[in-house]
Chains A and B, each alone.
Chain A
Amino acid sequence: MNAMLNSSADSFDHGAESTARPTGLLRFITAGSVDDGKSTLIGRLLHDTGNVAADQLASIRATSQKRGLAAIDWSLLTDGLIAEREQGITIDVAYRYFATARRKFIIGDAPGHEQYTRNMVTAASGADLAILLVDARKGVVTQTRRHAYLAHLLGIRELVLAVNKMDLVDWQPTVYQAIVDDFNTFVGRLGRHHVQAIPLSALNGTNVATRAEAIPWYSGPCLLEHLQSSPARRDAADAPLRLPVQRVVRVMLGNGADGETATEFRGYQGMLASGRLRLGDEVAVMPNGQRARVARLSVAERDLAEAGADRSVVVALDREIDISRGDMLCDPQQLPRIAKSLTADICWLSEQPLDMRRKYLIKHATRSVNALFEELSYRVDVNSLAQQAAPDTAQMNDIVRARLKLHQPVLADAYGSNRTTGSFIVIDPVSLHTVAAGVIVE
């Protein structure tokens, strides 16, 4: 009927990536304001795909009735902790699982409360896609923009704008379109994304797991259809090879997994962060830059001709090179930067603020190094996206642009081009807590 309403404005085209068959695993997060219906949406998705067991359903139905509710309170399904049930809020990221015939899904269920920005960042770090929920009666609110920004910061390019409670605005297409336009205008300022907008009612299950035929002006996919076909991050295999070495394995006579061995073996274990690795490929061993060819590639006793991103493998090279944990096998044509200083966006996670005088520990890929915060250039107001000049510290939930000095180099890429080699965590060497997350700008 109205073509404009059927597809959202794409600022990022799926292009070649969408032609790849979606992998069997998609990780996504759901974000929204407190009463936008996030728990209801997750409950619906789990229930309508047959992933809520009868005993779970009976238990939450009984509790809902005990509380005098007319309908099932789906948040009971996801809010598992005593304090959460007492206070009726979600205090931490929970992970939920469901599967359809086509895919397995891992939901990072991040709390909607403002003080838990850090939890949103935590959940988003592992996600391929973000569902941003808005209440059709309220439209795009500060929290929507905040979450879109955080998803953007964490490199999630697949966004779903779930316009919920459409039944409460009588499924008016104009209401929906105004929200979609509003959102696209905002997201367009952030950068390249693919946005799929879907009008739905989580409570009634309309356009969640089944498409609503009764809404003639919308012919796009229902939420589940979109989740089944949306590309996962790893579907894009065009990034250069990065294989951080986790462990060096040496098999001498007698200590092999299969008992007595006739030959000695020296190899490197790790997970491919990106790219592909084939037998015979030349790799550069970073940071020393020496070259070697892949002589053997395997997962346990199974030899492979090639392996792609996110596979944990064992690699043997054709030459003796001094390699240890923390080194990286890389594409010789596209090397990472040997970085002794980093400019990064930091999300401070700890209640104890950043102390510029102290030394912190950075864990980047499989390497941990000491670091000092040299300078904070600005703090981002996640509500207005305004940059506030030169803060002298970072408080919990702050996002700051920082320059760090490292005592030993890490093998870094910009986060925009590689999520594994572009990210790090900051550990307080005294409390041993993870106090910050960093995405490398350069």
Chain B
Amino acid sequence: MNVSTCERLDPAAADHLDLLEAEALFILREVAAECRHPVLLFSGGKDSAVLLHLAYKAFYPERIGCALLHIDTGHNYAEVIAYRDRMAERYGCRLHVRSVEDSIRKGSVRLRHALESRNAHQAVTLMEAIAEFGFDACFGGARRDEEKARAKERIVSVRDEFGQWEPKNQRPELWSLYNTRVALGDHLRVFPISNWTELDVWQYIQREDIELPELYFAHPRQVVRRGDILVPVTHLTPANPGDTVETVSCRFRTVGDISCTAPVASTASNVADIIAETAQCLLTERGATRLDDRASEAAMEQRKKEGYF
């Protein structure tokens, strides 16, 4: 037999999306049934868009039984913020926004320099919001295929009052029996799409016709090449003197903080094209696009230990 890189699972011939969906609905319902005050972390990215849609299906015919929380770094694309607000309204959810800017003002976040990436600082603001509202469970759209440290995290993961993740002291997770009990002050991070891959997410977006911010689709954008990474030219990431600014057809594979998310060159302007590209892509989502995970092999694990999502 011959297995080539582009020969991937045909969604029409397989029911794996149904099974992944069923698992996610089950997890959402378990946590909703057992926790006092859950919230859904919604950034406007594709994974949280899928998560929100799954929450809609999990609760249906009731409305989604929890609010949305967005930790705004202040470095988001305006289009994503507009999309976030539109989705909250469409799904009838209350939206809480807490901003890193406020944490800076309060003094709980201190930047090394004004343009430093605020991505890692989100954890502080997130923990402040969790304490403020008394959330005992936060649904998140993280996937295990994103990163090695994430591959080790449980679907239902306990964080202490500092938001810390203890990889060596995780609760074993058996069958589909999730232990959702937490002590006062601790909370859960719950990842219903842990078992999904980037390709699964795109196939599901196609199947369920889930709306996404336009940034995900190919568009012309001014960029500067730094090594193999395309750095978008924005007010936060301006071109340096001597940089060659090019206009390139590109799309974002992840949408996060402007200062640390880079697009990839692409002409895929619809979901079908993106699926075809993803199926043949030779780079991981984070390897290709995230400036902050490149700092060291264990960058993600370190940040998770510090309460990062």
Interface string of A238-255 (1 = CB under 8 A from B): 000000001101110001
- B92 proximity list for chain A (CB < 8 A): 257, 259
| Whole-angstrom CA separation of A122 from B22 in the bound complex | 21
On whether the beta carbons of B1 and A24 are closer than 8 Å, the reply is no
Is the beta-carbon distance between B16 and A255 smaller than 8 angstroms? Answer: no
Q: Could you tell me which residues of chain A, from 44 to 87, have a CB within 8 Å of some CB in chain B?
A: 48-50, 53-56, 59, 63, 78-83, 85
Any A CB within 8 A of the CB of B26 = yes
Q: Is the Cβ of A312 less than 8 Å from the Cβ of B58?
A: yes
A314 & B60 in contact (Cβ 8 Å cutoff): yes
* Per-position 1/0 for B15-33, Cβ under 8 A of A: 1111111110110011011
Give 1 or 0 for each of B164-192: 1 = CB within 8 Å of chain A CB: 00011011111111010111000000000
Q: Which residues 85-127 of A have a CB within 8 angstroms of B?
A: 85, 91-97, 99-104, 106, 118-119, 121-122, 125-126
Q: Is the C-beta of A325 less than 8 angstroms from some C-beta in chain B?
A: yes
A25 on interface, CB distance cutoff 8 Å: yes
- Asked whether A92 lies within 8 Å of B167 as measured between CB atoms, the reply is yes
Within the assembled complex, what's the spacing in Å between the Cα atoms of A209 and B301? 32
Q: Do B179 and A257 have beta carbons less than 8 Å apart?
A: no
27 A-B pairs within 8 Å (CB atoms) are namely A23-B16, A24-B17, A25-B14, A53-B287, A54-B282, A55-B287, A59-B297, A91-B167, A91-B168, A94-B148, A95-B194, A97-B197, A102-B9, A103-B16, A104-B14, A119-B172, A126-B174, A210-B1, A225-B1, A247-B29, A247-B33, A257-B59, A300-B56, A301-B60, A311-B22, A423-B174, A427-B181
Cβ-defined contact, B182 with A432, below 8 A = yes
Given A271-B26, A434-B173, list of 10 further CB < 8 A pairs? Answer: A25-B19, A25-B20, A92-B167, A101-B9, A122-B174, A247-B33, A257-B62, A271-B25, A312-B26, A432-B181
Chain A hits for B283, CB < 8 A: 53-55
Whole-angstrom distance between the alpha carbons of A93 and B22 in the complex? 23
The reply to whether the CB of B234 lies closer than 8 angstroms to some CB of chain A is: no
Confirm or deny: A366 has a beta carbon within 8 angstroms of a beta carbon on chain B. yes
**Chain A interface, >50% SS class:** mixed
Residues of chain B within 8 A (CB-CB) of A102 are: 9, 13-14
Chain A residue at minimum C-beta to C-beta distance from B16: A24
Interface residues of B in 56-82 (CB under 8 A from A): 56-64
**Inter-subunit contact A50/B176 (CB<8 Å):** no
Min CB–CB distance A265 → chain B (angstroms): 5
- A contacts, CB < 8 Å to B: 23-25, 48-50, 53-56, 59, 63, 78-83, 85, 91-97, 99-104, 106, 118-119, 121-122, 125-126, 209-211, 222, 224-225, 234, 246-247, 249-251, 255-259, 261, 265, 267, 269-271, 298-301, 310-312, 314, 325, 349, 361, 363-364, 366, 419-420, 423-425, 427, 432-434, 437
Which chain B residues lie closer than 8 Å to A25 at the CB level? Answer: 14-16, 19-20
Query: What is the CA–CA distance of A91 and B167 in the complex, to the nearest angstrom?
Result: 9
> CB-CB < 8 A to A93: which residues of B?
152
Q: How far is the CA of A78 from the CA of B3 in the complex (A)?
A: 22
Q: Judging by beta carbons under 8 Å apart, are B145 and A97 in contact? A: yes
Distance A79 CA – B151 CA, assembled complex (angstroms): 10
Cα distance A265–B174 when bound, in Å? Answer: 34
- Which residues from A are CB-within-8-Å of B7? 50, 100-101
Residues of A within 8 A of B10 (CB): 101
Instruction: Judge whether B144 and A53 touch: CB under 8 Å.
Output: no
Evaluate contact between B9 and A424: CB separation under 8 angstroms: no
Q: Cβ of A50 and Cβ of B5 under 8 Å apart? A: yes
Q: Which B residues between 266 and 303 are near A, CB-CB below 8 angstroms?
A: 281-284, 287-288, 297-298, 301
In the complex, are the beta carbons of B151 and A24 less than 8 A apart?
A: no
**At the interface, yes or no: B236 with Cβ under 8 Å from chain A?**
no
Given A50-B5, A92-B167, A258 contacting B29 (CB threshold 8 A): no
B195: CB under 8 A from chain A?
yes
What's the Cα separation between A310 and B181 when bound, in Å? 24
Query: By the criterion CB–CB under 8 Å, are A92 and B170 in contact?
Result: yes
Which residues of the partner chain B approach A92 to less than 8 Å between Cβ atoms? 152, 167-168, 170
B200 within 8 A of A: yes
Task: Tell which of B58, B64, B175 touches A125, judged by Cβ atoms closer than 8 Å.
Answer: B175
Known: A104-B200, A257-B92. A366 touches B1 (CB 8 A): no
Asked whether A312 lies within 8 Å of B3 as measured between CB atoms, the reply is no
Say yes or no: is B88 at the interface (Cβ < 8 Å to chain A). no
**How far is B130's CA from A355's CA once the two chains are assembled, in angstroms?**
35
- Nearest A residue to B183 via CB reads A432
A92–B172 Cα gap in the complex (Å)? 9
In angstroms, Cα B61 to Cα A251, docked, is 7
- From B19, B63, B199, give the contact of A255 (CB < 8 A): B63
> Are B172 and A122 touching (Cβ within 8 A)?
yes
Is residue B240 contacting chain A, with contact meaning CB distance below 8 A? no
Give Cα A75–Cα B91 distance, bound, in whole angstroms: 44
